[in-house]
Amino acid sequence: MKHRIPLFLLLLICGISLPSLSGLLIIPFSIGFSGIVIEYLAALTAIFFVASISLHYRQSLKRNWQIPFAFFTASLALFLDFLINIPSNTINGLFLDMIVSASIIVSVITILTRVSGNSLSSIFIKKGKLKIGLVVGIIGFLLFAFASIPLSESLFGGRNLNFDRIFSWIPWIIPIVFLNGFREELLYRGLFLKKYNASLGAKTSNLLQALIFSLSHSVAGVGLNAYTPFIWALVAFTFVLGLAWGYLMQRTDSIIGSVLFHAGTDIPVFLGIFSTMF
């Protein structure tokens, strides 16, 4: 127990150190200093790589090398994603940006997972307890889908939302929310939960990822990323959601349920974003 608290704090700092993963250091990008963030991410990627290799070749610490390697994987994925900056101030641009971003992040994580000697099941890419995952995921998706208009109007700046407008956006919104749900579930939870679990246990691991995930929403009202004025309410809400999705992933041993649920919660957000583009 006495070793878990320092390790928990160290891993929390590692999560907070990653722009986009924590949100706390992405503000320079929001106000136009993208070069600083690129250099920072490149340096951070190198640091995590050196740390993982150093632990890998030290016999007494070898069992922990997968954790810094997971942070190296995340930082490399974010670095490459950041380099390809597609303007997303139009629906087509937002759609293309999401496709490219999801492709980069998912590809880097899956490839490096295999390079590290792990199977895709180690990052929850498997059927697992499919029935539970589908039932909980679909229920969560439908609840937020049906409540998406009032949620979007009250929390995410949705304007003049009606059935005809929303129906015309469906070909873009549905793939966007699923792409975003999959890339974030893999990046925040799938990549890390089992690696944390070996040293922290299941409950503490879930708490850690939920804290990092919720802090990633601390820039929801900043610059180009602004989509709600209720930043800290959103941080608190996403903390609860992060705990639920992490538990669901651990319970089903699969990413499927949390991706479905996550996609539904993104619908109100993107309705608000889309309503400002027309």
* Average confidence (pLDDT) over 124-138: 98
- 144: tokens are 């937020």
Residue-wise pLDDT tens digits, 29-73: 444 445 677 888 899 999 999 999 999 888 766 778 999 999 999
Q: Taking residues 80-87, report their average pLDDT.
A: 86
Q: How far apart are CA 84 and CA 64, in angstroms?
A: 32
- Return the pLDDT at 188: 95
Q: With 0-12 CB in 10 A as exposed, 13-18 as middle and 19+ as buried, what is 173?
A: buried
Is the pLDDT at 86 greater than 90? The verdict is no
Per-residue model confidence (pLDDT) at position 198: 86
pLDDT at position 220: 62
What local confidence, expressed as pLDDT, does residue 89 receive? 81
pTM, two decimal places: 0.93
**Is it the case that residue 27 has pLDDT exceeding 80?**
no
**Torsion angle of C-alpha atoms 94, 99, 103, 109, degrees rounded to 10:** 50
Instruction: Please tell me the least confidently modeled range out of 159-163, 203-207, 221-225.
Output: 221-225
Note the pLDDT of residue 4.
86
Average pLDDT, the chain: 89
pLDDT at 265: 97
H or E segment and range at residue 98 = helix 91-115
User: How many Å apart are CA 206 and CA 201, to the nearest integer?
Assistant: 9
pLDDT in tens, 221-261: 555 456 788 888 889 999 999 999 999 999 999 999 999 99
pLDDT bin (cut points 50, 70, 90) of residue 166 is very high
Confidence of residue 24 (pLDDT cuts 50, 70, 90): low
Distance in angstroms (rounded) separating the CA atoms of residues 254 and 248? 8
User: Scanning the structure block, which residue is given the tokens 């963030």?
Assistant: 37
